[in-house]
A and B are shown apart, each in its own frame.
Chain A
Amino acid sequence: MDWTTAKRIFRAGMLDFSRNAFVSVASILVMTVTLFVVGVTIFAGVILNATLDELRDKADINVYFTTMAPEERMLELKSSLEALPEVESVEYISRDEALAAFRERHKDDQLTLQALEELEDNPLSAVLNVRARDISQYEAIAAFLNKEQEALTAGEAPIIDKINFYNEQHRQALARLEVITDSAQRLGFVVIAILILTSIAISFNTLRLAIYSSRDEIQVMRLVGAGQFYIRAPFMVEGTLYGLISGIITLLLFYPLTWWLGGATQGFFGGVNIFGYYVSNFPLFFLIIAGTGMLLGATASFLAVRRYLKI
């Protein structure tokens, strides 16, 4: 295709777009709804994942050492935990760090800080926070720590004060969480797939109807000697334009909407402010929403014109 042909195709697409204003506006509105559903789906996915991550993150095992425990032995235990394949991470919080964190947490509570000052020594113990790669692996880590605790307390002065893990209640909560996360992901996928497919089908049909109204024109174009590509391409330009404009409208709508919902999502779902997420990932959103719209518009037009070119 040479430059002149490309220019003519683009110009014809733009002219048809502006001269069929009613059809263009109707198509854009329907496509905007489709792209809005796609966008909401992305946000729902982000919130769901963030919530599940948050819940997963809350599941951990804490090993509290005695205040007398020597640091090298605590670090020894940290290393042996890290060597376990089930362990994702082990965080060591020394007594000083625990104290600093405590002070920070209670910086507005003078009474507690004063009480702390009264004490001669740091009353807080060092802690190991252990995270498993998967929720189901906490049991194995718990078993390992049980064994370690027995070995460590045999003969010498114990270094572990307490381990908060693995009672029946904890285990049940973890198991339930695992079921919830799995079903939420599966259900989410099915709902998303149905929503997206329905919206795409509606958009496709709208563009098919828009092109159906031009079927006589397409026939005339064929009879005056226009090639299939030369007839089809302006419709594809028009469809792409519908998609681009719908995408831009959708992205503009999401700006106030996510701003309005941002605080609520952060407070309710824990951690994710969708407005912040939207703004920081805007190029990606633009690519997905406008890209989907343009692809949808071009493909739907391509397919819809095809049936009228068979003369």
Chain B
Amino acid sequence: MIYFDRVSKVYADDSVALEDVSFSVEPGEFISVVGHSGAGKTTLVKMLLAEEHPTSGSVFFESINIHEIPLHRINDLRRKIGTVFQDFRLLPNKTAYENIAFAMEAAGRSEEDIHSDVPHVLELVDLGDKINNFPAQLSGGEQQRVAIARAIVNQPDVIVADEPTGNLDPVNTFEIVQILKKINDLGTTIILTTHNKGVIDSLKKRVITMDRGKVIRDDREGKYIL
């Protein structure tokens, strides 16, 4: 489904973010990418979202080379990938409802779909009573749940969660991981980057370990080993 083929990324100041990274992701997998800060986890995610271009190598999504897609067509790819970020990245001037509705509107969904799906997906992340709250009126955990609701509302093939628990306390961290597991159980592929040992060890799923831009381990049922 997703294939990184010898991907390297070297920035203008000669710092190496990724070096000869190759791995593939099958449909329905739950993959955790772990590593210290600066190991290249976020660059990897940016490659998949076509936010960054590799210096060499290719990234394929369903046999399409992501970096050959023209800029004006890239949104078609991004609609197939739901994204969740450490800093939530909600639209500050839109309510929880409007943030999720925006992703549906951008995908060209009908008003009827939006009216029925948005409250439903907010119920799923247990935020049915915060539908008209702005991000500033929500806690960190609640904001992250809105972000997850936004990521899943268009039923994407993959969800990429880049350090989604980085800014959260242990209780909220546990809840977010449980939600991601539930989404995975329903068949959606999950790619999770984190450096939270507790999260990785509790998941018992595939773990790719990175260090200084390289993949140093790829374990089927891995643990946090660094």
Which positions in A face B, CB cutoff 8 Å?
A: 4-5, 8, 15-16, 19-20, 216-217, 220-228, 230, 309-311
List the B side residues contacting A220 at CB < 8 Å. Answer: 89-91
Name which residue of chain A comes closest to B105, CB basis: A8
Contact with A along B5-17 (1 / 0, CB 8 A): 0000000000000
List the A side residues contacting B78 at CB < 8 Å. Answer: 222-225
Asked if B106 and A227 make an inter-chain contact with CB atoms under 8 angstroms apart, the answer reads yes
Name which residue of chain B comes closest to A214, CB basis: B93
Name which residue of chain B comes closest to A227, CB basis: B75
List the A side residues contacting B72 at CB < 8 Å. Answer: 227-228
Asked if A15 and B106 make an inter-chain contact with CB atoms under 8 angstroms apart, the answer reads no
List the B side residues contacting A226 at CB < 8 Å. Answer: 75, 102, 106
Q: Can you give 24 A-B contacts (C-beta < 8 A)?
A: A4-B110, A15-B93, A15-B98, A19-B93, A20-B93, A216-B89, A217-B91, A217-B93, A221-B91, A221-B106, A222-B74, A222-B75, A223-B78, A224-B102, A224-B103, A224-B106, A225-B106, A225-B154, A226-B75, A226-B102, A228-B71, A230-B105, A230-B106, A311-B51
Name which residue of chain B comes closest to A4, CB basis: B111
List the A side residues contacting B225 at CB < 8 Å. Answer: none
**Interface: B49 (CB within 8 A):** yes
Name which residue of chain A comes closest to B108, CB basis: A5
Indicate the member of A223, A225, A226, A311 with the most B CB atoms within 10 Å: A225
Task: Output the least CB separation between B190 and chain A (Å).
Answer: 17
Which positions in B face A, CB cutoff 8 Å?
A: 49, 51, 71-72, 74-76, 78-79, 83, 89-94, 98, 102-103, 105-108, 110-111, 150, 154
Q: A4-B110, A16-B93 are in contact. Are A223 and B71 (CB under 8 A)?
A: no
Q: Which of A4, A20, A224, A230 contacts B150 (CB 8 A)?
A: A224
List the B side residues contacting A223 at CB < 8 Å. Answer: 49, 51, 78, 83, 89
Tell me the complex Cα distance, A159–B76, Å.
Answer: 92
List the B side residues contacting A224 at CB < 8 Å. Answer: 78, 83, 102-103, 106, 150
Tell me the complex Cα distance, A222–B93, Å.
Answer: 16
Tell me the complex Cα distance, A19–B135, Å.
Answer: 14
List the A side residues contacting B90 at CB < 8 Å. Answer: 220
Q: Tell me the total A-B contact number using a CB cutoff of 8 A.
A: 56
Task: Output the least CB separation between B1 and chain A (Å).
Answer: 18
List the A side residues contacting B108 at CB < 8 Å. Answer: 5
Task: Output the least CB separation between B45 and chain A (Å).
Answer: 10
Q: A4-B110, A4-B111, A310-B71 are in contact. Are A225 and B103 (CB under 8 A)?
A: yes
Q: A4-B110, A223-B83, A224-B150 are in contact. Are A217 and B102 (CB under 8 A)?
A: no
Task: Output the least CB separation between B90 and chain A (Å).
Answer: 8
Q: Which of B51, B74, B92, B106 contacts A217 (CB 8 A)?
A: B92
Name which residue of chain B comes closest to A216, CB basis: B89
Apart from the given pairs A16-B93, A224-B102, A225-B75, 16 other A-B contacts in the complex at a CB distance below 8 Å: A4-B110, A5-B108, A216-B89, A220-B90, A221-B91, A221-B102, A223-B78, A223-B89, A225-B79, A225-B103, A226-B102, A226-B106, A227-B72, A227-B75, A228-B71, A230-B106
List the B side residues contacting A227 at CB < 8 Å. Answer: 72, 75, 106
Tell me the complex Cα distance, A224–B150, Å.
Answer: 8
Tell me the complex Cα distance, A224–B90, Å.
Answer: 10
Q: A19-B93, A217-B92, A220-B91 are in contact. Are A225 and B51 (CB under 8 A)?
A: no
Task: Output the least CB separation between A234 and chain B (Å).
Answer: 10
Tell me the complex Cα distance, A311–B77, Å.
Answer: 13
Tell me the complex Cα distance, A310–B93, Å.
Answer: 22
Tell me the complex Cα distance, A223–B159, Å.
Answer: 12
Tell me the complex Cα distance, A227–B108, Å.
Answer: 10
List the B side residues contacting A222 at CB < 8 Å. Answer: 74-75, 78
Indicate the member of B75, B76, B110, B111 with the most A CB atoms within 10 Å: B75
List the A side residues contacting B79 at CB < 8 Å. Answer: 225
Task: Output the least CB separation between A248 and chain B (Å).
Answer: 25
Name which residue of chain A comes closest to B78, CB basis: A225
Tell me the complex Cα distance, A221–B154, Å.
Answer: 14
List the A side residues contacting B83 at CB < 8 Å. Answer: 223-224
Tell me the complex Cα distance, A217–B111, Å.
Answer: 23
Q: A310-B71, A311-B51 are in contact. Are A225 and B91 (CB under 8 A)?
A: no
The 10 closest A-B pairs by CB, nearest first: A226-B106, A225-B79, A225-B78, A19-B93, A224-B103, A220-B89, A227-B75, A225-B75, A225-B106, A8-B105
